[in-house]
């Protein structure tokens, strides 16, 4: 197994960071990796906002529901789907400026932003850093747009605090690879298959402890009743759709 595969296979989310800065040299390697990935038509439809300033972290913290990763990490990278730069290029070259004000164009920019974000993560982990994706960036997208001063055609899609790990956690228990893989066409999931694929996860001590803490009979209900509840999801779906309209991607 080569070193790159070793980095990929041993990924873990790190939520506690040492009080140690990420130096500019390391940051620049991570940013270079972010900018080295595939991109739609070589348009490079993303931007990354680097947060290191303490006052800015404090402003962003409530939007991340004050999760400690958002305040304690020395470095936060926020990746945005960005058609602004390319549209400005078009504007200054007398080209059509409203060709990319639609959902398809947004989708391309999301893809570019996430390729860049994951490249940054792989680079960071190879350099001994730890990180953790914050789902909150997709919830409070309207407020992040305001605080980060994002113009039309820019929407944040990934927010990743990074730092040197206090400790390297154990690997997260995941579904077996076969759960995600289909050959030639999609093979749907019946009860037997679901039971089989989730068996190890459901019987783990980690799950058992969660069931006791939540006083619920299974993991699925912890998700639907506690973690990601229908009404919240639908609320944040509306926030996202409104942001897409406001940022000019639904024309």
> Binding to a second copy (CB under 8 A): which residues in 196-225?
197-198, 217-221, 223-225
Could you say which residues in the range 78-107 bind a second copy, by CB under 8 A? Answer: 80, 82, 84-86, 88-90, 92-96, 98-100, 102-105, 107
Smallest distance, a second copy to C-beta of residue 20, A:
19
Q: Which of 18, 21, 233, 245 binds a second copy (CB under 8 A)?
A: 233
C-alpha to C-alpha distance for 93 and 74, rounded to whole angstroms: 40
Task: Show contacts with a second copy in window 123-152 (CB under 8 A).
Answer: 123, 126-127, 132-133, 135, 138-139, 147-151
Cβ-in-10-Å burial (0-12, 13-18, 19+) of 244 comes to: middle
Q: Do residues 160 and 130 make contact, with C-beta atoms less than 8 angstroms apart?
A: no
- CB of 25 vs a second copy, minimal distance in Å: 11
Report the C-alpha gap between 229 and 205 in whole angstroms: 24
For a second copy, the closer CB: 20 or 230: 230
Per CB under 8 A, does 14 bind a second copy? no
Partners of residue 78 on adjacent β-strands: 49, 159
Contact 160, 134 (CB under 8 A): yes
Confirm or reject binding of residue 180 to a second copy (CB under 8 A). yes
In the complex with a second copy, the residue whose CB is nearer, 82 or 164, is 82
CA-to-CA separations, 237 to 36, 128, 244, 249, in angstroms, rounded: 31, 35, 11, 15
């Amino acid at each position: 197994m080569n070193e790159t595969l070793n980095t990929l296979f041993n990924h873990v989310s790190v939520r506690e960071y040492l009080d140690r800065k990420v130096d500019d040299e390391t940051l620049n390697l991570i940013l270079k990796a972010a900018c080295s990935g595939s991109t739609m038509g070589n348009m490079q439809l993303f931007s990354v906002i680097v947060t290191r300033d303490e006052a800015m972290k404090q402003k962003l913290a409530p939007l991340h529901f004050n999760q400690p990763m958002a305040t304690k990490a020395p470095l936060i990278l926020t990746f945005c789907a960005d058609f602004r730069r390319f549209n400005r290029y078009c504007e200054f070259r007398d080209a059509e400026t409203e060709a990319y004000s639609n959902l398809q164009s947004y989708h391309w920019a999301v893809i570019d932003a996430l390729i860049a974000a994951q490249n940054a993560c792989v680079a960071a982990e190879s350099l001994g850093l730890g990180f953790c994706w914050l789902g909150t960036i997709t919830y409070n997208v309207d407020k992040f747009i305001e605080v980060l001063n994002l113009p039309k055609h820019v929407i944040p899609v990934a927010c990743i605090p990074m730092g040197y790990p206090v400790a390297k956690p154990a690997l997260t228990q995941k579904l077996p690879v076969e759960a995600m893989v289909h050959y030639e066409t999609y093979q749907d999931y019946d009860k037997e298959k679901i039971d089989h694929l989730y068996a190890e996860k459901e019987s783990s001590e980690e799950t058992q402890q969660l069931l006791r803490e939540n006083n619920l009979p299974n993991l699925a209900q912890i998700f639907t009743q506690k973690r990601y509840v229908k009404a919240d999801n639908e609320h944040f779906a509306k926030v996202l759709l409104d942001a897409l309209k406001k940022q000019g991607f639904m024309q």
